[in-house]
Amino acid sequence: MSEDSIYKADPGAEPFRFNDAVARVFPDMLKRSIPGYAASIEAVGSLAARYVQADTVCYDLGCSLGAAAIAMRQGIREPGCRIIAVDAAPAMIARCREVVDAENRQDADGCHIEVVLGDIRETDISNASMVVLNYTLQFLPVAERGALLEKICAGMNDGGLLVLSEKVIDEDPQMEQLLVDLHHEHKRRNHYSELEVSRKRAALENVLVPETVAAHRKRLREAGFAKSAVWLRYFNFVSIIALRQ
């Protein structure tokens, strides 16, 4: 695993992008930056074992290097399923294909993962029993998030499950500042310097736009999901499950 040192050197004022440099260090970046990330991926496999239906399609939207797609594949117990992993960043897709190809070869009898370069807003969703948006929705313009969730819900079978993981903000400014401070301390414990933390925060400004948990759950209801719940929270990172019934 290559170490994330992108923001040790001054990268200039460019916004954060999922480019070749990020793709090379992405696993280390996730491990050190997102508390609870490993637990959220582990849960995807457990949820797949419970909710994926035979002869249906699973989607990993904004798949990056395919961690959620692979977790679904390892968890699925029903026959006739396939997984479609989609990302708009060519650098991430190139690396994802390498990772997924190795996984497919290792277990040739398992559910096939198809890796697709494309915009998740234009991806057809049909016959779906499980969809994962793992820290993906937050990178879309806020005004476009509802339409994507509506399309996902419309393309899901009854009893289908959506996993939505996001960075969030708290309604209370004082609590929000506490959560931000705790997250930055988490990064420092994982050997990011104050300068690296500051530079990355600036790079993500207006690129990653977080919302409150209440806003996410309201949008899920409006999109057609019958029930939703926060199953995991660590500081200002949450994972929400939503059911279509």
pLDDT at 19: 87
Q: Give Rg (Cα) of the chain.
A: 18
**Residue ranges of domains in the chain:** 37-169+207-243
pLDDT at 214: 97
pLDDT at 108: 62
Q: Label the pairing between strands 57-61 and 237-243.
A: unpaired
Q: What's the rounded Cα separation, in Å, for the pair 241 and 214?
A: 14
Q: What is the 3-state secondary structure (H, E, C) of 63-126?
A: CCCCHHHHHHHHHCCCCCCEEEEEECCHHHHHHHHHHHHHHHHHCCCCCEEEEEECCHHHCCCC
Local confidence pLDDT in tens for the 245 residues of the chain: 578 777 776 655 577 888 888 888 888 888 889 999 999 999 999 999 999 999 999 999 999 999 999 999 999 999 999 999 999 999 999 999 999 988 877 766 678 899 999 999 999 999 999 999 999 999 999 999 999 999 999 999 999 999 999 999 999 999 999 999 999 999 999 888 887 878 887 777 878 999 999 999 999 999 999 999 999 999 999 999 999 98
Domain boundaries 37-169+207-243, corresponding CATH code: 3.40.50.150
> For the whole model, what pTM was predicted?
0.91
Q: Where are the alpha helices (DSSP H) in the chain?
A: 20-33, 37-51, 67-75, 90-106, 142-154, 173-189, 194-204, 213-223
Q: How far is CA 153 from the centre of its chain?
A: 17
pLDDT at 203: 77
